Structure 1
Amino acid sequence: MPADDPLAPAAPGQRWVVRHRLPDGSATDVTGWVDQLAPGHVHLGTADGQRHVVDRSTVLAARRAPAAAGGPPPERTSADELEHLSVPGWLALAEPLGEWTLRAGGGFTGRANSCHAVGDPGVDVAEAARRVVAHAAAHGIPPLASVVDGGEPEAALRGLGWVDAYVPTDVLAVRLADLLGTAPPDARARVTLDLEVGWWNAYGESRPNDADPGLLRLVLAGHPPRAFGSTGDPARPTAIGRGHLSGAWLGCAALWTRPEDRRQGLATAVLRRLGHWAARHGARYAYLQVATANAEAHAAYERLGFRRHHAYRYLAPPRTAA
C-alpha cells in the first residue's frame, strides 16, 4: 500500500467513513465498522447489516467516525414516546388497553407487574382503572399503574384516589455517540444473543428472587432484539448487563458487578459493549432506569454522560378499590 494510505491507522472494531472510486470513475462513501483489514482490501459492516469489501487502492479519503451515529439531543424524544419504546424491554405477559399496557410477571419487579399507563386507554379513566384492578387480581399481583411524572394519566388516577406506591424512578438518557466516543469495544467485555447459564446464575446472585423461572426468562429473553453482556469467565461472570433494542434506543438493565471485582470499570465496559452492539444495529441513544433516591448511581451514570430525561412513578388504588 502507498505510504499515504488513509486507512493505515484503522483497526478492527472502529467505525470509519471511507470514500472510494467506483469502476465508472465516480466516488461513493461507505460508513461502517472495520471487520477486517487485509493488505489489499478493507471489509466494512454497516448498520443495515450489509458487508462492503473495498479495494484499498481505490480509497480516495478516509476518516475515523464516532462509534455510533449522531442525532438530535435525547430530549427531542418525548417522555411518552420513550416510555412506549421501553415497554417490550422488560415484559412477561401483556394485554393492550388502548395505548396502555396491562402487564404481569409473577410479581417480580414493578415494571413487569404494573399497568403501563401512558397515553390514551381508549376508555374513560374510571373504567380503565377498574380493568387495571381486575387484571391484577386475575394474575395474583397487587394493582399498580406506572405513570409519567406530571402526565395526564397520573392526574386522572389521582383524581380517583390512587396514591403513590413502590419506588419513584428516573429515566436517564444519553446519545450513544457521546457514550462511546471513537474507542473500540473494551476487550474485557463480550456480548451474546443467548441467555447463557452463567449469566442467568449471576443475575440470580445480583437480585435474589423466588420468581417463576419461566416468567423471569420471558422478561429477560423473550422479546428480541436483546443482548447479554458480561466480563470474566462466561461460566461465572464478574460483571453482567442486558440490553434491549427498540427503534433507535438501547435500554440498559441488570448491570451488576461482583462485590470483590468492583472499582475496575467492569460494569462500564459491559455497558459500552452493549452500546457498540446496539450501534451496529442502528441505535443512536441509550436509556436506563434508576431509583430517584439512588444518588450514588445517578452520579456514576452522569459521569458517563447520562442525563435525566423524565421520571415515572407507581400509583395504587385506595384500599376501598382493591
Structure 2
Amino acid sequence: MRRILITGTAGFIGFHLAQLLLREGFLVHGIDAMTDYYDVELKRRRHEMLYDMDGFSATECWLEDAAQLSDVAQNFQPDVIVHLAAQAGVRYSLENPRTYLESNIVGTFNIMEIARELRVDHLLMASTSSVYGANEDMPFAEIDKCDTPLTFYAATKKATEAMGHSYAHLWGLPTTMFRFFTVYGPWGRPDLALFKFVDGILDGRPIDIYNHGDMYRDFTYVEDLVKGIRLLIDAVPERPDSADDIDDGDSLSPVAPYRIVNIGNSEKVKLLDFIEAIEGALGVKAERNYMAMQKGDVPATWADASLLKSLTGYQPQTDVKDGIHKFVSWFREYHGK
C-alpha cells in the first residue's frame, strides 16, 4: 500500500487531494500548522472529515520546524511527498512578506531535504500561475520564460521551482512542480474571490470588483485540480539522455528528472461573467463597487494544459456555472444561509 505524505491537508487543496487518495486506498499522513491566516475552525472541520476516513493520520507542525518535520517523515516513511502547504494569497504578500520567505522558501527547503534523505519515488510541489507575472502571450505555457514576477508571493514560488530543479539535478530526485490557475470549489478559502463574493452578496454588502471588472481568469474547479495531481503522481519524470529526447512543448529538464506542469481549465473567463454566474446561482443581484487594479494583480491568466493531457490523458473541464452552483450549495449548508 503506497504511502503519501501531504503538507497542507487542512488547507483547501490538500483536503480535497487527501480525500481522493484515501478513497483510492492510499495511506496518507498530513502535515499542517493550522495557521490563523484564515478561519482555523474551517481547517479543523476539514481535518475532522479526513480523520473519519480509513488510512489518514496527521501531525500539526510548522514547515519551518526542520527537526519535527524530519521526525514525522522518518516515522511515516512515505513513498511520495506532495508539498502543498505555503503562505498563500497575492494581496497578503504586500502586507507581510516575511511570512512568505519563512514558509515558502525555508519550509520548502526543509521538505526537499526530507525527500532527498528518504529517497522518495517522487516529490511533487505546488507552484502558481502567478509566476507568469507580466507575461502577455497567452495561453501561458510551461516552457515560457517567467522572469517578471509582480508580487513577492510569486517570486517565492518561482524560487521554489528553481530550488526544486537544483535538487532534482544534484540528487536525481524525481520532481514535478505544478502551477495552479485560480482554484475554486466547496470548502474553499474565505480570502478567495468566490467565497468573498457569495458571502458579501448574501449579506447585502457591496463586492469589490478590481480593474472595473476588465479582468480574466482561468477558473479551475478543485476536484479537477486534485485529479490532475493524482495522475501526475504516476507520471514520474526521468532525466533524458539528451535534449533531443524531449518532445516539443514538454518542460522536462535536459539535465534533471524535473518537470513543470500547468493545471488549469484552459478557458479564459471574464470576471464580470463570473459574477453574473454567481448572481444566477444565488438568485440575488450584487451591489457592485468598481475599483482600480490592485497592486500586484494581473489583468488575465489562461493555461495551456496540453502537457498535462499528454502526460496523463486528462484535461480539467468543469463548466464555471456548474462549479459555482456546487460551491453555493456547500456555502449555504455550511453557513446556514
User: If the length of structure 2 is used for normalisation, what is the TM-score?
Assistant: 0.25
Give the greater-gyration-radius structure (CA): 1
User: If the length of structure 1 is used for normalisation, what is the TM-score?
Assistant: 0.26
Higher helix proportion: 2
Higher strand proportion: 1
